[in-house]
A and B are shown apart, each in its own frame.
Chain A
């Protein structure tokens, strides 16, 4: 069974205090790993896709990396507007349409 575990559940940072969110996965044949951001009362919004170990993607203060067992979402010098829940999801080769999400990390950035 495919499993995705995100840690920590919640993270409180001061503005400017860099940190990382973790997404560890146990799947049979990773096809793609996705990071989404979810604001309260909204649907998830796509951030990054990673397809192979060693891949990195970057956008503003966010950088996503991927190894064979986990992915990190690094947040550099966060601002209060980065406060949200960050979700990680995987899709696998053996079951094309299935998506498995982690429970998310809720990030709060204090000014």
Chain B
């Protein structure tokens, strides 16, 4: 089944404790992206990747890092999480840029 898989789905952690949210897609897509969604707001783009080893900032990159060492994986790293990064995070992929994106089911992060 074609899918975008995020892990973990839920995480409660404390300020300053490094964490990684993994994202993997099995569709051989070149384009991948991370978004955060806060109550009442649409999705805001954090980082995106056009292909392996190519990443770029979205609208809200502060406090986040990404890497794209393999085509299928695009982890999101919070090196020193803070409470304002409490949010619902979505990973997405598409065959190439400018095509519809397939989304994962989301990761709900709570940072105390």
Contact = CB atoms under 8 A, between A and B. Distances in A.
Interface of A: 4, 6, 9, 31-32, 34, 41-46, 49, 87, 89, 91, 96-104
28 contacts: A4-B42, A31-B98, A34-B100, A34-B101, A42-B105, A42-B106, A43-B4, A43-B92, A43-B104, A43-B105, A46-B100, A87-B42, A89-B43, A91-B97, A96-B97, A97-B31, A97-B48, A97-B50, A97-B56, A97-B97, A98-B59, A99-B33, A99-B43, A99-B58, A101-B35, A101-B43, A102-B42, A104-B42
A45 B101 CA distance: 8
B110 interface: no
A101 B4 CA distance: 20
Contacts, number: 67
Interface of B: 4, 31, 33, 35, 40-45, 48-50, 56, 58-59, 90, 92, 97-106
A103 B32 CA distance: 21
A102 B40 CA distance: 11
Given A97-B97, A100-B45, A101-B42, 9 more contacts: A32-B98, A34-B100, A44-B92, A89-B42, A91-B97, A98-B48, A98-B58, A99-B33, A99-B48
